[in-house]
Amino acid sequence: MKKIVYIEGMMCEGCAKSMKEAFEKMVGVDSCKIDLKKKCAVVKLQGNVIDTALSDCVERTGFKCVDIKVKKGLF
């Protein structure tokens, strides 16, 4: 399963790198791709990771979680 996490406050590649590393340290997260233009992260999950765990990760990293949606489709 993939979830799209919409994040406020990421301004540069350094911000994106920090957020990517934080997500990838979480238990249950396989990988993460950050899109600075769309202000979101596509998080690939190995299992069931609840939305509050993802939003807490964003907040601990210093950003604001705006929304979380399940990514539908193949890509």
CATH number at residue 51: 3.30.70.100
What is the structure's pLDDT at 50? 96
Q: What is the pTM for the complete model shown?
A: 0.92
Looking at the 3D structure of the chain, how many domains does it have? 1
Residue 25 located in a structural domain: yes
Residue 57 located in a structural domain: yes
CA-based R_g, the chain, Å:
11
CB 39 within 8 A of CB 5: no
Residue 75 located in a structural domain: no
Percent of the chain residues past pLDDT 90, beyond the cut:
91
What lies within 8 Å, CB to CB, of 65 at 6+ separation is 5, 6, 7, 8, 54, 55, 58, 59
Asked whether residue 48 carries a pLDDT value surpassing 90, the answer given is: no
Q: Which residue range(s) make up the domain with 6?
A: 2-70
